[in-house]
Structure formats: structure tokens, C-alpha cells
Amino acid sequence: MSARQPSPGELLDAAIAKDRVSLARLLSVVERGGEQTGELARLVYSSEPPYTVGITGAPGSGKSTLTNQLVRAARGGWTEPAEAVPQVAVLAVDPSSPFSGGAILGDRVRMQDHATDPSVFIRSMATRGHLGGLALAVPDAVRVLGAAGFPLVFVETVGVGQMEVEIASAADTTVVVVTPGWGDAMQANKAGLLEIADLFVVNKADRPGVNEARRDLEQMLDLSAATDWRPPVLTTVASTGEGVDELWAAVGSHRAHLAGTGALGRRREARVAQELRRVLVAKVLEEVQEIGRGGGFDEAVRAIAGGALDPYRAAEELLDAGRAALSGPRAGAAPR
Amino acid sequence: MSARQPSPGELLDAAIAKDRVSLARLLSVVERGGEQTGELARLVYSSEPPYTVGITGAPGSGKSTLTNQLVRAARGGWTEPAEAVPQVAVLAVDPSSPFSGGAILGDRVRMQDHATDPSVFIRSMATRGHLGGLALAVPDAVRVLGAAGFPLVFVETVGVGQMEVEIASAADTTVVVVTPGWGDAMQANKAGLLEIADLFVVNKADRPGVNEARRDLEQMLDLSAATDWRPPVLTTVASTGEGVDELWAAVGSHRAHLAGTGALGRRREARVAQELRRVLVAKVLEEVQEIGRGGGFDEAVRAIAGGALDPYRAAEELLDAGRAALSGPRAGAAPR
């Protein structure tokens, strides 16, 4: 075994040849961020992105069990590309967890369901706190999985913050999972969920209150602006698999709708615009950190504290100086 | 009355001459952000900043009543500068409120206590959602008040999020207000509060559990790293004024400690560094928004969606192009 680290390109070639260890290492590259991410992005953004299904909902709504069931349904019902065994990937995203990549218990527990199935790849992702974090890492990870040959990726988010909802809604089809009695718990977020949902699922439909939950959702949908796709409200019992095939069929209907109306392309362009904005922000924030480490920054702080300068003028001067310094070496540097 | 809007400089001159309407308008300039902020900053950052006392704590801890009582104590006990009537300002910061500047009920209610006292100025601040928001606006507002002749400013934050704590802790003396039984409610945030507190106050000390709350805090302090200032734990009943004079005396002791050890200067430099970092971030984010509005951005999105480009390379190209375009006119432009 060579001591040399394989390059992202070598790892991607191995991942395409179904080497799962190389795929996992590529996702770690994405998770870490940094220089190799740019190199990897150049390799994977030329591929067709996989079809992405986002799954979001409150803690305890049964998202993980439902995702496992959807994987099962997809493995049975997925017919393109016309390979005998379509590959399915699950990204389980937990922005609140400092752990990542297979290290957490959840992964091991979840893997058991599909452990004997080499065509299912499950991976937890968590931020390591670098700039941009998960909002950058998840779309890159989806692209890596697409380039590695997965035509279908589930992105499940654990948690209900703004970030989780944003990540899950950056999918081709977004499934919002609620449970009977959800109305009170998610009152504050109803409008937001309505905005991102392509499908609603009332999970744990064997509990009391399922009809009220459905009616509540349908009334919300009645009151919202009419569009060419009204999110259907489905019911499932993920623990038994009840209703999962119907849910998977509804995902297929939504996919057909997007493809038929040209909305898929528009949606993906909007997502790319969002990604590009995030990368821009991350890049300029890196620049600010760089400036903060420089001697000019400390000088400026002393000048402001001494009343000789104000922070706005100081910021302009630092940015101008930083750019002047950058533009020289950067122009001549080899592309990373 | 002229239709011409007075400049920040004219408003500041009027504010120094104790025109409260002009002062309020200056604070609105700060709140709005934008171009005039830079002009105003140049005027006010050359003045000595006022002594700033931050007051933070959970909702319902009685912060507003306590702040009113501290204003009363300060008006009696403040001896420098040696004017007959020292002026005191209160900034009540509510990051969660979309309202601002005197418009909210709270202001009117609070004003009643000091309505007949022309030397007390109370102002609510809320973000209007511009970049940088309150974290930028509050330090600028404090500087404006200092330049207008207020030697003492209380910054009270409503709410307990990260932002509120950050704002309150950007003070010379930070008072953390808790109530009997606070332990459970703020368990998660204890370490953070310990980090920012210069003084702890157990308010509503006429309720059961005050001794437990004190003991709890003292134990926390026993366990934390020793520094040259151990935050005292005081008790108050803000509604009756009990303990407020002692609290105000403790603020004075902390101030004397900071001045005697040279810590005041170091603390203010650290705050300036934090402000400068925030201004830098706000400026580069503005740049990203500018880039996002340009035609090159849409072109880049189409190229990425078509697989011809990746977001990292696109971001670099857009930033380089944006800077090349900026460097021309900017260099020759009149200083704002």
C-alpha cells in the first residue's frame, strides 16, 4: 500500500467501479471542505445530477424508518436506468451533531436493514464547522453520488431548524412528514412547510387524530395559492410499511409532473443559483478570516480604538489592500 | 422648514445641543444601515466611547424593571463627568421584533418612569433585516450616544439567543440577570453566561429559591477558572428597588477594577476587533449580493446547470470579474 493519498480523481474512478471505501472517502473530502473540494467539484458537476428526494419533519415523526421503507420500495419499483440492480443512496444529515461519517450509532442501526444489499449506500453527514458547512457539503455530496453511479439519492434531515428545512427542500421532490397531532407542535412553521412540500405524509397513521391531521393539511392547501401541483396528503405506518408503496408511487407522479412541465430544469437551475450564492459567501468569508489574521487588521483595531479611524473606513482599506495583495500571486498560481 | 434632509453631521451637532429629535433621527440612520452609516461612523468614532453596561437574562427575569431602577440609581450616584445632571441612555434591543424606534408599546410604558427627566434617553432598537443587522447597529448607536454627550449607556437585550448574549456582552460591564429557579431553564446556556458575566443578579429575590440560586451560581464560579475578577452574585427585588443601590455600587467596583488593571483598554480593543470583523463580513456580503444581481451570475448558473462549470470555479471567476469592475470607479470615487 502506497503512503501517497489518492487524488479525488482516483477515488472517483474507484467509486464508479463500486468501491464503497473510496466513495466514503470522497464524501469525507466533501464534508471537510477545503481545497480538494474544488478539485472534486470540477469532476462531478459535469455529470447529470441524481434524482433527489428530500425527507424532513419534526423529531419523532419517524423519518428514518420511513426513509428505510422508501429505499425498499425504490429498490423494487425503480426502473431507470435499465440496470438490473439500481443503486440507492441515503444521506442522513444532522446539523446539530458533531459526529459524522459512519461513526454514529444511527448509521449502524440503520445499515442493518440493508446490510446485505450492496446496492444501498447509507451515510450520515455532519458539519465539522467549516465555513458554509452542510449547506455547501450536501449538494456536493449529492453530485458525488450521482457521478459515482447512483441515479437516486434520499436526503433525510434530522432536526427542524431553518438549515434542515433548507437542505431537505433542495431536492427534486420534497416529502414533509408529520404525525397525528402535529398541528400544535409545528404551528409556527406551517407556512414554511407548505412552501417546501411537494408531498405531505401523515406517518404513524395507526394513532388517533390521523383524520384531523389530514383535514388540517388539506385546509391549509385549500387556503394557499393555486399552482399546477397540489401536494397530495398521504398516510403511512412506516413501522409496518403500510402506505409506503402509495407514497413511493406519489413520488413517481411528482417526478413525472416535473419532467412533463419542464419544472425539473427550472427547479435545478434555482438550486444551482442558491449553491453558487453559498459558495460565493463562503469564499468571501474565508477572505475575511485571512484579513483578520494579517498584521494590518491589528493595526486597524488600534487605530479605531485610539479614535483615529472608524470600522467602515478600516474595512474598506483592509479589503482593498487584501485584494491588491491577492491579485498578484493568485493570477499566476496554478489552478487548484 | 426646508425640504432638504439634514446631514448626519448637522444632526449630530443638534444632538450635542440636546435636541432629542435629532438624536432619535441619528439612531434611525444607524438602524437602517446603508451609506449614511459610514459617514456617521467617521464623526462618532473619534469620541471617547461612553461607559456601557450590558444587561441580559431570560424573558421574565425582570430585566426592564431592573434597568429602570439602575437608571434611577445611576442618576443619583454617577459623579463624572462633573456636570450637575449626568445624562443616561438606555438601548433596549429586541432582535426578534420587526418594530423599532419608539414605535413599540414597551417604549411608551417604560418612558413613563423617566418622562419628566430630560437627562434620560430611552430607545428601542430592532433590526430591519439589513446585512449585519443589530450586531453592527448597536455598537454604532452606543458611539452616537457617546458623541452626543452621554457618558453612560445601558444596553438591555430582550431574548436569550446567541445574538442577544453577544450584544449584551459587548459592554464594559455585563450584568446577567437570573431568577430563583433559573437553573432548570438555563441549564444549556450556563457555560455561556458564565463566560460573559461580570456580575450576576438574582432578581425577584422575594420568591422562594433565592438561596439555592445563589449557591448554584457560587458553585459554578468555584468550578470555573480563576481570574483576577470573580463576578459577585447580588440579589435584587427590582419591583421595590431592594438591592439596586448595592448592584449599582458593584457596577462601580467592576468599573474601577477595569480601569485600575488596564483591562478596560484591552476589552475595548477586543470589542473593536469584533466590530471590524462584522463590518468586513457585511461589506463582502454586500458584494456577493451585488454579484448576484449581475448578468454574469445568471450566465454562470446556466453553465453549471448545463455541466460546463462547477460552483467553485464559477465563484472565483465572478469574484475576480466583480473586483476588476469595482477597482476602476471605486478608486476614483469621492469618499462617502
Cβ-in-10-Å burial (0-12, 13-18, 19+) of A335 comes to: exposed
Confidence of residue B5 (pLDDT cuts 50, 70, 90): confident
Considering only A4-18, A41-55, B58-72, which range has the smallest mean pLDDT?
Answer: B58-72
Place of cell 404551528: A187
- Which residues on A lie below 8 Å from B38 (Cβ)? 310, 312-313
How far apart are the C-alpha atoms of B204 and B259, rounded to whole Å?
Answer: 31
Which residues belong to CATH 3.40.50.300 in chain A?
Answer: 48-262
DSSP 8-state code for residue A161? S
Which residues belong to CATH 3.40.50.300 in chain B?
Answer: 45-261
How far apart are the C-alpha atoms of B181 and B178, rounded to whole Å?
Answer: 8
Residue of B nearest to A35 (CA): B312
Which cell numbers in the block locate residue B77? Answer: 450616584
Which residue type occupies A328?
Answer: G
How far apart are the C-alpha atoms of B185 and B190, rounded to whole Å?
Answer: 10
Q: Taking 70 as the threshold, does the pLDDT of residue B334 lie above it?
A: no
Which H or E run contains A171?
none
Domain at A48-262: CATH code = 3.40.50.300
Which cell numbers in the block locate residue B205? Answer: 429575590
Question: Residue B304: which of A45, A315, A319 has the nearest Cβ?
Answer: A45
- Which residues on A lie below 8 Å from B41 (Cβ)? 310-313
Do B319 and A284 count as a contact with CB atoms less than 8 A apart?
Answer: yes
- Positive or negative, the CA dihedral A162, A165, A167, A169 is negative
Q: Taking 70 as the threshold, does the pLDDT of residue B64 lie above it?
A: yes
Nearest to A25 by CA among A151, A178, A141, A191: A141
- Which residues on B lie below 8 Å from A291 (Cβ)? 280
Do B305 and A48 count as a contact with CB atoms less than 8 A apart?
Answer: no
- Positive or negative, the CA dihedral B144, B145, B151, B152 is negative
Question: What pLDDT was estimated at residue A114?
Answer: 56
How far apart are the C-alpha atoms of B315 and A284, rounded to whole Å?
Answer: 10
Closest Cα of chain A to B262: distance in Å? 14
Which residue type occupies B48?
Answer: E
- Which residues on A lie below 8 Å from B303 (Cβ)? none
Cβ-in-10-Å burial (0-12, 13-18, 19+) of A91 comes to: buried
Do A292 and B280 count as a contact with CB atoms less than 8 A apart?
Answer: yes
Q: Say what the pTM is.
A: 0.66
B62 within 8 A of B202, measured Cβ to Cβ: no
What's the mean pLDDT in A18-26? 91
Which cell numbers in the block locate residue B47? Answer: 469620541
Q: Taking 60 as the threshold, does the pLDDT of residue A326 lie above it?
A: no
CB-CB neighbours of B154 under 10 Å: 24
What's the mean pLDDT in B277-285? 82
Return the number of CB contacts < 8 Å for A and B: 137
Question: Residue A311: which of B275, B288, B309 has the nearest Cβ?
Answer: B275
Confidence of residue B112 (pLDDT cuts 50, 70, 90): low
Question: What pLDDT was estimated at residue A32?
Answer: 82
Question: Residue B288: which of A265, A275, A277 has the nearest Cβ?
Answer: A277
- Which residues on A lie below 8 Å from B269 (Cβ)? 301-302, 305
Residue-wise pLDDT tens digits, A270-296: 899 988 988 888 887 777 777 777 778
- Positive or negative, the CA dihedral B299, B301, B306, B307 is positive
Cβ-in-10-Å burial (0-12, 13-18, 19+) of A303 comes to: middle
Question: What pLDDT was estimated at residue B220?
Answer: 86
Residue A229 to residues A154, A235, A263, B294, Cα–Cα distance (Å): 21, 19, 11, 31
Residue B293: helix, strand or coil by DSSP?
helix
Residue B163 to residues A26, A134, B158, B170, Cα–Cα distance (Å): 35, 21, 10, 11
Which H or E run contains A317?
helix A311-332
Residue A50: helix, strand or coil by DSSP?
coil
Averaged confidence pLDDT in chain A: 81
- Which residues on B lie below 8 Å from A308 (Cβ)? 46
Q: Where would I find the beta strands (DSSP E) of B150-256?
A: 152-157, 173-178, 199-202, 233-235
Q: Taking 80 as the threshold, does the pLDDT of residue B131 lie above it?
A: no
Residue-wise pLDDT tens digits, A216-243: 889 889 988 778 899 999 999 999 999 9
Q: Taking 90 as the threshold, does the pLDDT of residue B252 lie above it?
A: yes
A100 within 8 A of A125, measured Cβ to Cβ: yes
A44 within 8 A of A143, measured Cβ to Cβ: yes
Which cell numbers in the block locate residue B193? Answer: 453566561
Structural domain B45-261, CATH architecture:
3-Layer(aba) Sandwich (3.40)
Considering only A98-112, B29-43, B64-78, which range has the smallest mean pLDDT?
Answer: A98-112
How far apart are the C-alpha atoms of A149 and B286, rounded to whole Å?
Answer: 39
Backbone phi, psi, residue A227, to 5°: -130, 180
Question: What pLDDT was estimated at residue A37?
Answer: 85
Question: What pLDDT was estimated at residue B59?
Answer: 75
How far apart are the C-alpha atoms of B112 and A258, rounded to whole Å?
Answer: 60
Nearest to B311 by CA among A279, A268, A29: A279
Q: Taking 90 as the threshold, does the pLDDT of residue B132 lie above it?
A: no
How far apart are the C-alpha atoms of A130 and B81, rounded to whole Å?
Answer: 47
